[in-house]
Structure 1
Amino acid sequence: MGHRHRRQALLHRARGRRIGVPRRLGRLPQRPPQARPHPPLLVISDGGAGLISACELVLGCSLRQRCLIHKCRNVTSKVSRHDLAEFKKEFWEIFDTTELGLPPGQRLVETVQRRIDAFAAKGEKTYPAAVKSLLTDRSSLTSYLRFPVEHHKRIRHSNFIERTFGETRRRVKVIGRFPGEASCVSLAFAVLDRAATGWRGFTTTPAALRQLEGMRRDLLNPVSADVIQPAPQDHEPPAEAA
């Protein structure tokens, strides 16, 4: 087989490859409840189908936020250079909630979702591909609006964790090859743990802590309706006959 035919065969196999969750993720050992780590309240991801499927499988109780910086790049890549600056400005104005004066929660999420609808209606005829990219997985664009306001600008993108990729690659070059999966995971967590000590920008107030605890209770430990027992009703004693 010639070089050109081998290349066509490889391209054909690559295009037909199915991207999804590895099978072993579905066979993770089940730990007892007291030994399981607490899942995070929020998972920030890009648009990778495999990562999204893994989050839904393993962290189904957690909220998922689509990185707005990645989404902005995906949307504006389908816009002409002449309209790029104005289009990008209007995109970020969708998520500017400083003047709304609404507390975090469902009402704020619905308000921003209406802004997305208005933005899509305005640019649908001019840039249909960009609007289609914006509306894809749109529910994950506003998950961060349920969290404390002082955290919004930090948790709506994945820049925090992406800065650690370079440090991880630098350490991997020194090692060359990992002896096993455990050593690879240990290195990744060590880099993240060290980077987390220097993160800035998260202002945690007592009100924010109470809000996060309430979200953790509602999302990760919901009270089942079967557990709630109706309160005993006080029956009035029968009236005595005169």
Structure 2
Amino acid sequence: LCFWWVDGIYTNLRAEEDPRICLLVIIGVTAEGKKELVSVSDGLRESKASWLEILRDLQARGLETAPLLAIGDGAMGFWAALDEAYPETGQQRCWVHKTANILNELPKAQQSKAKAALQEIWMAANRQAAEKALDVFVRNYQAKYPKAVAKLEKDRAELLAFYDFPAEHWRHIRTTNAIESTFATVRHRTTRTKNCVSRSSFLGLGFKMLQQAENAGLGFMLQRSPALFAG
């Protein structure tokens, strides 16, 4: 597997043991460009221990080669677990999540202009141009909105990691959009289920719905890049 998209799915299903439990999902893409469900488990999204258990299980089942890059929201225990289990894997923060987090620190009157300025970063033609656009954003917003700027600068390297890969992959690997549509399917299918369920039912229903979503709409292919997938 070359890329992983990672997130925690909260649904209307709730495990009896702990209402904070959600579905912890990893979706990957192979060297052939096929997207596959790598893992689905239950746990706490913010917990390093929950994610590390998943990663150790993957290793125990033979997944010894680390993915080149993992893509996800920064507010997860996954990253600390990844550093321990697969330290060689690159980290890419999702631009959709990061943009929302930054805009939350700005008044509504400033959000449209700031969103366009952020788009100048992740839509830049190359890393050098992206770095320049990021510096412009910092310069324009630092004095009045230091919290917004801090959220951007904190993950500077992880936000621009996708530039290390061939340009034909950028639109897929700079956000978690590749799995958001799958999550929407799961949430939709659980909307009418209001009561708590057993842990096994929670996990089983979640897995089946993700599997159905995968069969129905996860079959997009990343263009194979000789420079990326050589060997």
Same topology, TM > 0.5: yes
2:56 maps to which of 12, 28, 31:
28
CA drift of 1:127 comes to 1.4
Residue among 211, 215, 224 paired with 1:190: 211
Cα 1:61–1:180 shift into 2, 3 Å: farther
User: Larger strand proportion, structure 1 or 2?
Assistant: 2
Shift of 1:142: 0.8
For residues 69-218 of structure 1, what are the structure 2 equivalents within 5 Å?
Answer: 69-98=96-125, 108-169=126-187, 170=189, 173=193, 176-179=197-200, 183=204, 186-187=207-208, 190-191=211-212, 193-194=214-215, 197-199=218-220, 202=222, 204-205=223-224, 208=225, 210-214=226-230
Deviations along 1:184-233, whole A, 9 cap, x unmatched?
78547625642564336x3x15xx2x11125xx7xxxxxxxxxxxxxxxx
Return the structure number with greater helix share. 1
AA matched with 1:53: A
TM-score (norm 2): 0.64
**Are 1:47 and 2:67 an aligned pair?**
no
Which residue identity does 2:73 align to in structure 1? D
Task: Count matched residues.
Answer: 181
Larger-gyration structure (1/2): 1
User: How many angstroms does 1:179 deviate by?
Assistant: 2.8
Cα distance in 2 for residues equivalent to 1:151 and 1:114? 22
Unaligned runs of at least 5 residues, structure 1: 1-18, 99-107, 218-242
The percentage of counterpart residues that share the same residue type is 25
Runs of 4 or more, structure 1, over 4 Å off, are 171-176, 180-186
Deviation at 1:151, TM superposition (A): 1.8
Greater relative contact order (Cα 8 A, min sep 6): structure 1 or 2? 2
* Cα distance change on mapping 1:48 and 1:80 into 2, 3 Å: same
* Pairwise CA distance, 1:112: 2.0
